[in-house]
Amino acid sequence: MTKPALGSILLGTTNPHRLRDWYAAALAPDDSGEAFTEVTPTMFAGTFGDTSVLIDGRSDVADKNPDPGRVILNFHVDDARATADHLNTLGVTWLVDLEERAGGIFGTLVDPDGNYVQIIELKE
Amino acid sequence: MTGVVVMVADAPGPEKPAGVRRRARIRAITLESRAPGRAAAWYRQALGLRDADPLLTAGGVELRFTLGTSDAPNTLEPARIVLNFHVADIRTAEARLVALEAVWVRELERTRWGIIGTVLDLDGNYVQIVEPAPDSPPCLQRKEEQS
């Protein structure tokens, strides 16, 4: 028996190039421009773990997410503090600063469209 | 599953030289809901998971549900973030959603990427089932995990 897999998450945006560049720089910093492939001129796909992020230019969303927090993407990283340092060099906006909790180190930031993105370094 | 703090652990990665970072991995999605318990049960049935499965996961990504704080009862922009669940047999996946009496936004349709159908979850989010086409790009080819 097989189970469905979350193959991809589609992010609808009015500015797909900006969002692609942000996710590539923020979460795939060592991929030097290869983090995303162009599926169509307004759709880009990048794989983060086993799941792809599809950035889709579309006209049925506003420039900013009017209801952030409904869906939060949780990214695991090897070193949350190094990642946060890197993100700060990009000038990202933090919703919740990095903090140590029982399960690991967590922080929540806001992407250019206003979506919430959590980074997590799990404790060994 | 509301309030559960267990998380899907990453397989340990290889040691990297200083300054080299592995790409971040999506390992969980948090969905805010008016009724997180009901939402979790809906996804469990929609994805065909057994009650015995300890975590609500799909391809190694955990789905977490928290109590919503938004004033709006339903998601305001369902096209903003869409979860695409890849399946090997779209008709089986469709049958599960029909049994749940899910509201269809787009009935099954053959596209260049494969066969795709879209339903609303209980909070008005778009949920898509996708049977990828054999010649769709590799990044869109992730299919079902073996259980």
What pLDDT digit, counting tens, does each position of B48-74 carry? 887 767 678 888 899 999 998 877 889
Is residue B16 pLDDT above 60, yes or no?
A: no
Query: Of B139, B144, B147, which to mutate for an interface test with A (greatest number of A Cβ within 10 Å)?
Result: B139
- pLDDT (mean) for A57-68: 95
Measured between beta carbons, the chain A residues lying within 8 angstroms of B117 are none
* Residues of chain B positioned with their CB less than 8 A from the CB of A109: none
Q: How far is it, in rounded angstroms, from Cα A91 to Cα A94? A: 9
**Is the pLDDT higher at B108 or at B16?**
B108
Indicate the pTM of the whole model.
0.88
CB A46 within 8 A of CB A90: no
Q: Please, what is the average pLDDT of chain A? A: 93
Q: Give the pLDDT band (50/70/90) at residue B6.
A: low
Q: Which of B16, B26, B31, B84 to mutate to test the interface with A (most CBs of A within 10 A)?
A: B26
More confident call, B137 vs A79? A79
Based on C-alpha coordinates, what's the Rg of chain B? 17
CB within 8 A of B12, min separation 6: which ones? none
Record: contact B10-A58, CB cut-off 8 A: no
Answer yes or no: do A78 and B22 touch at CB < 8 A: yes
A72 CA to centre of own chain: 9
pLDDT, tens digit (0-9, with 9 covering 90-100), for B20-30: 357 899 999 99
Which amino acid would we find at residue A120?
Answer: I
- A104-113 contact pairs (CB < 8 A, 24+): A104/A80, A105/A80, A105/A81, A106/A80, A107/A80, A108/A72, A109/A26, A110/A68, A111/A19, A111/A22, A111/A23, A111/A26, A112/A15, A112/A18, A112/A19, A112/A22, A113/A11, A113/A13, A113/A15, A113/A19, A113/A63, A113/A64, A113/A65, A113/B80
pLDDT of residue B43: 95
Q: Is the pLDDT of residue B4 over 50?
A: no
**ipTM of the shown complex:** 0.94
A vs B: CB pairs below 8 A: 210
Q: Which residue has the higher pLDDT, B138 or B70?
A: B70
**With the C-alpha atoms ordered A83, A86, A17, A44, is the resulting torsion angle positive or negative?**
negative
d(CA B109, CA A11): 21
**Chain A residue with minimal CA distance to B65?**
A71
Q: Give the whole-angstrom CA distance, residue B7 versus residue B27.
A: 9
CB contact under 8 A, A73 and B29: yes
Secondary structure element (H or E) that encloses residue A82, with its range: helix A80-89
Distance from CA of B102 to the nearest CA of A (A): 17
pLDDT score for B10: 59
Per DSSP, B100 falls in state T
Token representation of residue A8: 């991809």
Cβ within 8 Å of A, B 24-53? 24-32, 47-49
Question: Please, are residues A78 and A119 in contact by the beta-carbon 8 Å criterion?
Answer: no
Q: Which residues contact B136 (CB under 8 A, 6 or more apart)?
A: B112, B113, B114
